[in-house]
Structure 1
Amino acid sequence: MAKRKITVTVDEEVLAKARELGDAHLSAVVNAALAEHVDRMARRDALRDLLDGWEQAVGPVADDDAHDAAAAFDELEGIGFGREIA
């Protein structure tokens, strides 16, 4: 895969901790973290599209069910998928 050099700003504490833990290849660390984040975002968007399709097909999801689904997703992924619960 092609690489592109960019400039990023990282909190000093995070950088110090990474170095303390022995990770001298910071470009690889940043690349891995960004790749993981992008992958999570793609899965979140796919889940949102799936749920929106189901909602259009069968009607609105009950608030309790939407909350439970969001909590389960958060637990699995560490992020929510941005669906507002009224």
Structure 2
Amino acid sequence: MKNEKLHKRFNEAVEFINNYTEPLPADVLLKLYAYYKIANENKNHPGSKTPLINAFKANALIQAQNLEPKAAMTQYIKLVKTLR
């Protein structure tokens, strides 16, 4: 998939999630979080004030740490497709 097309599909998937109103399971949210952070090459410390939430977010990032940004975009898109 060409970069432009991948970025377009990724941005569409992000927009879909940003407008999604149904509750999502925690595991799906954490995967989306990790894929999004890696896709945007933003691996900063999770910013929650709740240590337990930070731990779950950090764990999600660790589980996906071997993904390249393009692969993370692809995984994000695939996961969003399961919600449509």
- Shorter-chain TM-score category? 0.3 to 0.5
**Which of 1 and 2 has greater Rg?**
1
Higher relative contact order (CA 8 A, sep 6+): 2
